[in-house]
């Protein structure tokens, strides 16, 4: 990959911006805007950024595969970004890297108004 066109952004860096400041690289202004940022900020203040549930769906070439045939997860809130400032004459690859920070399962206890551990997490082997 040509490092001149490599740009890294994180949810944390997008949420911590005071303004919609653009990142300047190679004489291009590439801007990444997080959609539903208010909801992401609320999750961030609670100490969690997302919830990953079992009920996901897998879409392959526009065809939704039944839940029985896949082992996908659904993330809430959904990750939706708007990327501006890309050169229309170039091809880009957009990647999302998710990191597991704890090997535990959690659920929200409404009676205690907090997240509680419900046991060890499950490791999915590829």
- pLDDT one-digit tens code per residue, 45-68: 776 666 666 655 555 555 554 444
> In the predicted model, is pLDDT for residue 70 greater than 70?
no
- Token readout for 98 is 């998710």
**If you write DSSP's letter for every residue of 52-70 in order, what string do you get?**
EES---EEETTEEEPGGG-
Residue 22 lies in a domain: yes
Residue 47 lies in a domain: yes
Residue 126 lies in a domain: no
| Domain enclosing residue 13, as ranges | 3-120
56, 33 contact by CB (below 8 A): no
Beta-strand pair 74-76/51-53: antiparallel
Confidence of residue 32 (pLDDT cuts 50, 70, 90): confident
| pLDDT given for residue 2 in this prediction | 45
Report, as an integer, the average pLDDT of 12-25. Answer: 54
Residue 90 lies in a domain: yes
Average pLDDT, the chain: 69
Total number of domains constituting the chain: 1
Q: What is the pTM of this model?
A: 0.48
CA distance 38 to 20: 14
CA distance 102 to 55: 21
CA distance 64 to 70: 10
> In the predicted model, is pLDDT for residue 95 greater than 80?
yes
């Amino acid at each position: 990959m040509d490092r001149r066109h490599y740009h890294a952004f994180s949810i944390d860096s997008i949420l911590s911006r005071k303004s919609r400041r653009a990142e300047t690289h190679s004489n291009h202004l590439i801007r990444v805007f997080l959609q539903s940022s208010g909801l992401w900020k609320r999750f961030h203040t609670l100490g969690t950024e997302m919830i990953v549930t079992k009920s996901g769906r897998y879409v392959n070439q526009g065809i939704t595969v039944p839940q029985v045939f896949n082992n996908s997860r659904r993330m809430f809130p959904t990750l939706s970004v708007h990327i501006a400032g890309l050169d229309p004459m170039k091809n880009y690859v957009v990647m999302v890297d998710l990191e597991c920070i704890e090997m535990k399962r959690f659920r929200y206890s409404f009676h205690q108004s907090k997240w509680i551990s419900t046991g060890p997490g499950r490791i999915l082997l590829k």
